[in-house]
Amino acid sequence: MTDERSAPAGAVLVVGGGISGLTAALEAAEVGKDVFLIEKNPYLGGRVAQLNQYFPKLCPPSCGLEINFQRIRNNRRVRVHTMTEVKSVSGGPGNYQVTLESKPRFVNNNCTACGACADACTDEIDNAFNFGMNKSKAAYKPHDMAFPMKYVIAKDACGDASKQAIKDACKYDAVDFDMQAKEFTLDVSAIVWATGWTPYDATKLENLKVNSSAAIISNMQMERLASPNGPTGGKILRPGDNKEPESFAFVQCAGSRDENHLEYCSYICCMATMKQITYIRSQYPDAKITVFYIDLRTPGKYEKFREKVMADANVTFVKGKVADIIAEADGGVTLVAENAVTGDKVSAKVDLAVLATGMEPNAKGQAAALGLATDGNGFILGDEGMSSCGCAKKAADVVTCTQSSTASAMKAIQASRRSV
């Protein structure tokens, strides 16, 4: 791991350490390929690390991540670089030169994850892992299951006194404030792009006025609220005033299936909402829930799950797109929509509104600079030496992502075979 050796001949570079990148890297390595796995965050696991449960099994994603992290620990062919991004790619199939940059962690490999630095640190930062819904120390472990299990320091957020206290607290000489960004080059035969996605920026959905009320959150924020290691210890509370909500609304297709925003369907949001209804129901047996949708895309094996959720008498499904959200004086919000079947204008006043925001590929905006072809929506197209997988390729659920990631491992092996 984080081995600085030069690339062995025929090695594969996997860009992105979420579930898709992890899968592509491990599947290739377990066939016998040497793999470099890079991740821009200080930890592996990506989006799924932020999820409370997977649908439809309602099992914790950390369970699969644990197995994948064990696979990495047991496989010396996978070399991991966190806080690292691709700066440029040159060469071609079978023979790429990739320039990468690692940002300074300000904590070196001596770190034992004992936590003394965080105890000593007096400065706080917004907790990005929890979408800013709480603060963390500026010397922090990104989350409980973080891999690698090392602390990170947001140096710029630390005052001089805090820095000194952090340095003094570490008994293992692991804190290094002089650490610099580092550029390095790898020669690889194939590249897998597994750069994942970001929730669509809800401020662009002007009619939903996400900034007008703390009672409007995204579905990813809901995941953090429901997670035992989230900002509220797993209790679903309204941000701002910590009210226990008595009523909820879900706004489906918040950005998706909309030519002005994301023209595609983001695949997961219907099931994510069904799943989040089960979170709510387990904490608030009597809460009223309204779901505004266009179509319920819960096909195949997900249909049983939908049936179970829809059997709940306190959940109302309205076919209709939300036109407006109005902040109310009591801290709640009113959602306005037209029921597409009856033609009636309907409104629902709730304590908490959840926007089922779509997926925006992370490569959008960066792909051109790296010379990557995309489909116009920012999803990466593959070629002979490079392939994309997971949500870098298309909006998809976790199962589909791991399938396409395994396929990408195969394509990388084929490409590196052609090169020798």
Partner 1 sequence: MDKKYGAYICTGCGIGEALDIEGLTGAASENGMAPKSHEALCSAAGREMIQADIDNDGVNTVVVCACSPRVMKNEFNFGDDKITIRANLREGVAWSLETVTEARGEDVVKEYAQEKAQDYVRMACVQAKKTELPVPFQLETLNKKILVMGGGIAGLTAAKAAADAGSEVTIIEAADKLGGKALGWRKQFPTKAPWTNLEEPTIAEMIAAVEADANITVKTSTEVARIGGAPGAYKVTLKPTGTKTEWDAPAKVGVDEQDAISKGKMEDPNTGLQKYTAVDPAAEDFGAVVLATGWNPADVSEYEHLGYGKLDNVVTNAQFEKLAKEGKVPANVAFIQSPGAEENDNDFPYCNSVTSMVALKQACYVREDNAEGKAYILYQHMRTPGNMEMFYKGAQNNDGIFLTKATVTGVEAEGGGLAVHMKDTLLNEDITLNVDMVVLAAGMIPTTKNKPTINLAYRQGPAFLDLDIFDGYADSHFICFPYETRRTGVYACGGVRKAMNMEETIDDATGAALKAIQCVESADRGVAVHPRSGDGSYPEFFFQRCTQCKRCTEECPFGALDDDEKGTPLPNPTRCRRCGTCMGACPERIIGFKNYNVDMIGSMVKAIEVPDDDEDKLRFMVFACENDAYPALDMAAMRKLPQNALIRVIPVRCLGSMNMVWIKDALSSGMDGVLLLGCKFGDDYQCHFVKGSEIADKRMANIGETLGSLGLEPERCAARQVAINEYDKIGDIINEFVEEVIELGPNPFKGF
Task: Scan residues 158-187 and list those touching partner 1 (CB under 8 A).
Answer: 171-172
Q: Which is nearer to partner 1, 82 or 213 (CB)?
A: 82
Least Cβ distance, residue 310 to partner 1 (angstroms): 9
Question: 10 Å Cβ neighbour count for 35?
Answer: 29
Distance between CA atoms of residues 231 and 214, nearest Å:
15
Least Cβ distance, residue 177 to partner 1 (angstroms): 20
Q: Which is nearer to partner 1, 332 or 382 (CB)?
A: 382
Q: Which is nearer to partner 1, 75 or 97 (CB)?
A: 75
Provide CB contacts within 8 A for 329, sequence distance 6+: none
Query: C-alpha angle with apex 13: 8 to 15, nearest 5 degrees?
Result: 155
Tokens 């490999």 found at: 109
Least Cβ distance, residue 106 to partner 1 (angstroms): 18
Residue among 62, 136, 218, 278 that touches partner 1 (CB under 8 A): 62
Q: Which helix (H) or strand (E) holds 86?
A: strand 84-92
For residues 96 to 135, the per-residue mask of contacts with partner 1, x marking binding by CB under 8 A and - elsewhere, is --------------x-xxxx--------------------
Distance between CA atoms of residues 388 and 404, nearest Å:
8
Tell me the two tokens of residue 374.
């995309």
Residue among 125, 169, 265, 327 that touches partner 1 (CB under 8 A): 265
Residue among 79, 81, 105, 411 that touches partner 1 (CB under 8 A): 411
Q: Which is nearer to partner 1, 37 or 145 (CB)?
A: 145
Least Cβ distance, residue 72 to partner 1 (angstroms): 9
Phi-psi region of 365 (alpha: psi -120 to 50; beta: other; left: phi over 0): left
Residue among 178, 300, 313, 329 that touches partner 1 (CB under 8 A): 300
Q: Of residues 209-248, which lie at the interface with partner 1 (CB under 8 A)?
A: 227-229, 233-234
Q: Of residues 307-326, which lie at the interface with partner 1 (CB under 8 A)?
A: 307, 319
Tell me the two tokens of residue 123.
């400065």
Q: Which is nearer to partner 1, 127 or 402 (CB)?
A: 402
Tell me if 336 sits within 8 A of 178, measured CB to CB.
no
The verdict on 284 binding partner 1 (CB under 8 A) reads no
The verdict on 303 binding partner 1 (CB under 8 A) reads yes
For residues 346 to 365, the per-residue mask of contacts with partner 1, x marking binding by CB under 8 A and - elsewhere, is --------------------
Query: Which DSSP string corresponds to 96-124?
Result: EEEEEEEPP-SB-TT-----HHHHH---E
Least Cβ distance, residue 170 to partner 1 (angstroms): 11
Q: Which helix (H) or strand (E) holds 72?
A: helix 61-73
Q: Which is nearer to partner 1, 329 or 341 (CB)?
A: 341
Q: Of residues 386-405, which lie at the interface with partner 1 (CB under 8 A)?
A: 394-396, 398-400, 402-405
Q: Which is nearer to partner 1, 333 or 415 (CB)?
A: 415
Q: Which long-range contacts (CB under 8 A, 24 or more apart) does 154-163 make?
A: 154/125, 155/104, 155/106, 157/123, 157/124, 157/125, 158/121, 158/123, 159/122, 159/123, 161/122, 162/120, 162/121, 162/122, 162/123, 162/138
Q: Of residues 79-98, which lie at the interface with partner 1 (CB under 8 A)?
A: none
The verdict on 292 binding partner 1 (CB under 8 A) reads no
Q: How many helices (H) and strands (E) does the chain have?
A: 9, 22
Tell me if 298 sits within 8 A of 271, measured CB to CB.
yes
Residue among 244, 295, 324, 330 that touches partner 1 (CB under 8 A): 295
Q: Of residues 19-58, which lie at the interface with partner 1 (CB under 8 A)?
A: 19, 23, 26-27, 30-32, 52, 54, 57-58
Picking from 52, 46, 77, the residue whose alpha carbon sits closest to that of residue 234 is 52
- Count of residues binding partner 1 (CB under 8 A)? 88
Residue among 90, 91, 144, 246 that touches partner 1 (CB under 8 A): 144
Based on C-alpha coordinates, what's the Rg of the chain? Answer: 22
